[in-house]
């Protein structure tokens, strides 16, 4: 168990400057909001497909699946490569969605963490996302 001094040393300290300077330039400072999500509703499909087709093996299987759609070129059925390839892409998409939802929930939890800030000489409790530096 850490001693009180060690626990105090592990805390984050922010040295206060001029309060009037802070108020006049408050919009200049970045927010404290954390976002580790990779996707949103509009960017999911393009970003997911870009990440999948950066891999050469996925480009190869896409090319083979497209070539197999031509009956005179393919000695096998039309869907022997396309269906498994689409299943693998679908499972990968579901995994990415699941992981991104977990990241979003974690971000929301961290952003809602209560902290105390010094305002006009008194301590106020705010959420992590509302603190600006």
User: Quick one: 22 exposed, middle or buried, by C-beta within 10 A (0-12, 13-18, 19+)?
Assistant: middle
Whether 114 and 125 have beta carbons less than 8 Å apart is answered as: yes
Ranked by mean pLDDT, the top range of 18-22, 54-58, 68-72, 80-84 is 54-58
Domain range summary for the chain, segments of one domain joined by +: 4-130
**Per-residue model confidence as pLDDT tens digits over 33-50:** 888 999 999 999 999 999
Whether 114 and 42 have beta carbons less than 8 Å apart is answered as: no
**Per-residue model confidence as pLDDT tens digits over 105-130:** 999 999 888 888 888 888 888 888 88
The reported pLDDT for the residue numbered 121 is: 82
pTM for the whole thing?
0.68
Could you give the angle at which helices 44-52 and 82-111 cross, rounded to 10 degrees?
120
Radius of gyration of the chain (CA): 26
Residue pointed to by tokens 């592990």: 10
Whether 127 and 31 have beta carbons less than 8 Å apart is answered as: no
Mean confidence (pLDDT) of the chain:
83
The reported pLDDT for the residue numbered 9 is: 58
The reported pLDDT for the residue numbered 8 is: 54
22 vs 6 pLDDT, higher one = 6
């Amino acid at each position: 168990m850490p001693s009180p001094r060690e626990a105090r040393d592990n805390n984050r300290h922010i040295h206060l400057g001029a309060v009037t300077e802070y108020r006049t330039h408050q919009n200049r400072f970045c927010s404290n909001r954390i976002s580790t999500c990779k996707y949103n509703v509009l960017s999911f499909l393009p970003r997911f497909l870009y990440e999948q087709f950066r891999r050469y093996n996925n480009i190869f299987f896409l090319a083979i699946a497209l070539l197999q759609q031509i009956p005179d070129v393919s000695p096998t059925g039309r869907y022997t490569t396309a269906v498994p390839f689409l299943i693998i892409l679908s499972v990968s998409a579901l995994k990415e969605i699941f992981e991104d939802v977990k990241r979003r929930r974690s971000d929301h939890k961290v952003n809602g963490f209560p902290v105390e800030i010094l305002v006009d000489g008194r301590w106020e409790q705010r959420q992590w996302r509302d603190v600006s530096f």
